[in-house]
Amino acid sequence: MASQKRKTDTFSLFKRLAKDILSPPPDLTVSEWADTYRKLSSESSAEPGQWRTDRAPYQREIMDTITDPNFEDIVIMASAQVGKSEIILNAVGYHIDYDPAPILIIQPTEQKAKDFSTERLAPMLRDSPALRNKVSDVKTRDGGNTKLQKSFPGGYVALGGANAPAGLASRPIRILLADEIDRFPASAGTEGDPLDLAEKRTNNFYNRKKIKVSTPTNKGSSRIETEFNLSTKEYYHLPCPSCGDYQPLKWEQIDFETESHRCRECGFLHNEYEWKDQKGKWVAEEPGANIRGFHLNELLSPWSKWGKIIDAFKKAKVKGPEAMKVWVNTSLGETWEEQGEQLDEADLFNRREEYEADIPEEVKILTAAVDVQDDRFEVEVMGWGAGKESWGIEYHQIYGDLKQQKIWDELDEYLSRTWEKSDGRKFGIACTCMDSGGHFTQEVYTFTRPREPRRIYAIKGKSVQMGEYVPLIAGYTRPKPSKTLLIHLGVNDGKSRVMSNLQLGEFGPNYCHFPKGRGYNQKYFEGLTAERLETRYTKGVPYQVWKKIRARNEPLDLRVYNTAALEILNPNLEKEYTLAPKIRRKKRRTASRGIE
């Protein structure tokens, strides 16, 4: 009997063990996993240690929708400082540790994918014990772990750039995490929409998830706004501390003086601590949609104080349209609508002014830009003052045979001259950007290389894919064999800045002044307004492009180059720079240093 009892007990034990092994684990949501297992790293978080969803409770339902079988697509249209990247990381950690699956993270460029891997993903894998032993160290010889791929039992994390089609159309994936989709190009090379390419890779999985995240950009070409408008369009509502009416926090209800939010129902003002202390809920404008969409603005963030948001708004308003665009995108999480996409050259011509001297009193520093044509150089010298207010100083043309040394000597002499204020103070050119993209590339390199100590630099517009965002200063190289410093420009970003500034009608930050005479004739203003911003579509994906409406656009290009020269210098515009400053020898390697 005893022997039979032992056999029965052993059989029962094995039966229980088999049941535990074969049965699925109890349900666990992404937020519950993060609250239990996620550790924040010191180099990527101001609050290192155990993750707490209650710190930003609006994140809970967003994360838990990732495990909701009723929704395949999730859209997050959000400002900065609301934890978008942490939501992505928690989704990755959950699927590595608890629900293994092949995962793809897409960033706008391959370089940004590598940066995300190094700066955000690797610290999480290192500091969260539940993940540490599941992904081998990148320093080992394990081929399953590189910057752009992390293998683990049951799956892998692949990272790629939207501008690199090879990484978007190969292996099947179940979890797609597309970050900052408004910065994606409209087409990945000739392969088509990178987001569409990535989504097709999920077709083999019935339980696929596609999470699209971004801060919005321009109205009419914003991918995230388009996706959000197809979704449930949910906003996080908080109850008024006085009357209990649930409502989203809106900028137009913020009182600047008291740094409080006025209730839309009862009209009472309450500060941010009183509002944020309430228990909120997500409310859908389109509850029947099959895409779950969430909108977040910075007013909800526990890491951003309302007083600082108000100050940032006031500063952006003073600085002008470009600064306001950034503020609307990154603080309100809303798209920016461009005003007046095409300027009237006659209006600009008629607002020219008489200067009392070569240089108006408000000018602090001079820059120059050179456009290289087959039979001439076109040069514009500009003055800059406080708040990046600008003054056209002279638009000059030098004609000649660019295959002969004479015209190059004339250009050198011109860039070496000085301009005076009414009191006799002399100003030299502090930085010059010279186009190298035409028929005389090597000649430009030969000219600029020995003049780098004078901050005369070769520049070239960076080639971009349709709709791809590239900042004005997009890096630099030293092409062989000359090893000349070549600065790459995002000219579309530059044109947007110039056009925004030209629209300003009041003197002050970013306003553009033009003198009478000095080369600023009718033809100049026709060239300055020779392009307009158009929205185009490729396979249904909108993107914006600058389109020529007149043949000659050199004045617009030169304004972009001058804007780049100022950004390279990054001067203190409260200080006055007279003769062009000398550059310290040890600083010559970097084009983006400020003036010494």
> What mean pLDDT do residues 256-271 have?
94
Facing residues of 381 across strands?
A: 368, 394
pLDDT at residue 233, rounded to an integer: 96
Residue 587: its pLDDT value, please?
Answer: 39
DSSP classification of residue 128: -
- pLDDT category of residue 383 using cuts at 50, 70 and 90: very high
DSSP 449: G
Could you give the residue ranges of the DSSP H alpha helices within 267-423? Answer: 272-276, 306-319, 321-327, 345-350, 405-416
- In 3D space, the residue among 89, 338, 105, 59 whose CA is nearest the CA of residue 222 turns out to be 338
101-122 per-position pLDDT tens digit: 999 999 998 899 999 999 999 9
CA nearest to 133, candidates 120, 143, 145: 145
Intervals of CATH 3.40.50.300 along the chain: 30-233+291-296
Cis peptide before 481 (omega within 30 of 0): yes
Rounded Cα distance between 232 and 290, Å, is 7
Please check the confidence at residue 594 and state whether its pLDDT lies above 50.
no
**Residue 23 pLDDT:** 36
How high does pLDDT run on average in the chain? 87
- Residue 144 is predicted with a pLDDT of 63
pLDDT interval class at 519 (50, 70, 90) = very high
More confident residue, 540 or 48: 48
Q: pLDDT tens-digit profile of 81-90? A: 999 999 999 9
Q: Which residue has the tokens 């948001």?
A: 309
Where are the CATH 3.30.420 domain residues in the chain? 353-521+554-587
Residue whose entry in the numeric block shows the structure tokens 């009892």: 5
Coil, strand or helix: which one is 462?
Answer: coil
DSSP lists the bridge partners of residue 369 as 380, 433
**Topology of the domain comprising 353-521+554-587:** Nucleotidyltransferase; domain 5 (3.30.420)
- CA separation (Å) from 376 to 400, 410, 457, 489, 525? 6, 11, 18, 22, 19
The tokens describing 224, both together, are 């995230």
Alpha helices in 98-193 (DSSP H): 110-116, 122-127, 129-132
Model confidence at 15: pLDDT above 50 = no
Nearest Cα residue to 198 out of 209, 206, 207:
209
Does position 589 have pLDDT exceeding 50, yes or no? no
What pLDDT is stored for residue 540 in this prediction?
Answer: 67
- Tokens 């609250």, residue located: 35
Which residues lie closer than 8 Å to 340 by C-beta, 6 or more apart?
A: 503
* Percent above pLDDT 70 for the chain: 88
Q: What is the pLDDT of residues 186-236, one digit of tens each?
A: 876 667 788 888 899 999 999 999 999 999 998 888 999 999 999 999 999
Q: Read off φ and ψ for residue 258, nearest 5 degrees.
A: -100, -5
Which single residue is written with the structure tokens 């180099």?
Answer: 43
pLDDT for the residue numbered 516: 92
Of 47-51, 197-201, 356-360, 581-585, the poorest mean pLDDT is in 581-585
More confident residue, 34 or 42: 34
Lowest mean pLDDT of 325-329, 389-393, 468-472, name the range: 468-472
Across 118-127, 461-470, 519-528, least confident range? 461-470
SS3 245: coil
When pLDDT is averaged across residues 163-185 and rounded to a whole number, the result is: 86
Residue 2: pLDDT over 80: no
Q: How many helices (H) and strands (E) does the chain have?
A: 18, 28
Q: Which residue stretches of 23-57 are H helix?
A: 30-37
Q: What is the pLDDT of residue 138?
A: 53
Distance between CA atoms of residues 551 and 527, nearest Å: 8
Residue 592 clears pLDDT 60, i.e. is over it: no
Q: What are 489's two structure tokens? A: 């420009």
> Could you tell me which residue, 451 or 578, shows the higher pLDDT?
451
| Helix/strand/coil for 489 | strand
Count CB neighbours of 171 within 10 A.
11
pLDDT band for position 335 (50/70/90)? Answer: very high
Report how far apart, in Å, the C-alpha atoms of 279 and of each of 34, 56, 244, 261, 336 are. 20, 11, 11, 16, 31
Asked whether the predicted pLDDT for residue 19 surpasses 70, the reply is no
pLDDT of 235-261, one tens digit each?
999 999 999 999 999 999 999 999 999
pLDDT at 121: 94
Q: Does 30-233+291-296 carry CATH code 3.40.50.300?
A: yes
**Helix (H/G/I), strand (E/B), else coil: 442:** helix
At 323 the pLDDT is 85
Which is it for the CA torsion 565, 566, 572, 577, positive or negative?
Answer: positive
Residue 449 reports pLDDT greater than 70: yes
Rounded distance, CA 130 to CA 400, Å? 70
